[in-house]
Amino acid sequence: MPDTATITAITVQQKNKDRLNVFINHQYAFSIHRQHLLAFKSGDIITPADIDRLKKADEADAAYFRALYFLKFRPRSRYEIQRYLQDKKFLPETVTDSIRKLEAAGYLNDFDFARLWVENRLRCKPKGRAALRAELREKGIPEGIIHSALADLDEKQAAWDAIFPKLRHWDKLEKEEFKKKVYGYLARRGFHYELCSAIFERAWEYSRPAVG
């Protein structure tokens, strides 16, 4: 492309009225959101530097709004947003800028994400400290934030909350089979052996009238 060129036509895309097709020297050159082309009209001279600037601004907006859409379904960690935008083939600098904007706007905060993740798990699907730590690590949460999010975890209460809904299904079992059920269920939820033992004794005491 020469150092300068002329915009010979600007047309609206049929499937997206907010996007424009730009023709330079009578040939299609690129598409862009209309808000980024306000300074240009058909007949104007445009340079390669202008085009590069317009495309970068357009990509930055596309990445940001993609990330907002991804956040609509549930809170996300910084790592999740980064991986999502990378998978969408956005440039590394665009990904970094989008994350910075999301954090500045309050849409992205790993401290809040980790706290909400733990609270949601304890409310809907209680798990042990080890399991929660593993889940947060998978989300790319730094160790310091994980430690803070789990600092006030009452693991004994979480284990009881996890097992309690199951007790009515096991109230006819003999003690050894009952024990296997309790230990197995809690272990799969990430609770350590000593806690499984304590909860088993409590659960058996609670269920014993039902088993005779």
The whole-angstrom separation of Cα 138 and Cα 209 is: 42
Q: What is the pLDDT of residues 51-72, one digit of tens each?
A: 999 999 999 999 999 999 999 9
List the alpha helices (DSSP H) in the chain: 48-71, 78-87, 92-104, 110-124, 129-138, 143-150, 155-163, 175-188, 193-211
Q: What pLDDT does residue 208 have?
A: 75
Residue 2: predicted pLDDT = 59
- Alpha carbon distance 73, 56 (integer Å): 27
Give the pLDDT score at 3: 63
pLDDT value, residue 211: 44
Position 39 scores a pLDDT of 87
Q: Which tens digits make up the pLDDT trace of 25-52?
A: 999 999 998 888 888 889 999 999 999 9
The CATH number of domain 48-108 is 1.20.1250.20: no
pLDDT computed for residue 38 by the predictor: 87
pTM for the full predicted model: 0.79
**Token pair in block for residue 22:** 């730009």
Q: Domain ranges for the chain, please list them.
A: 1-46, 48-108, 111-153, 155-212
Residues of the chain falling short of pLDDT 70: 1-4, 209-212
User: If 0-12 CB within 10 Å is exposed, 13-18 middle and 19+ buried, where does residue 206 land?
Assistant: middle
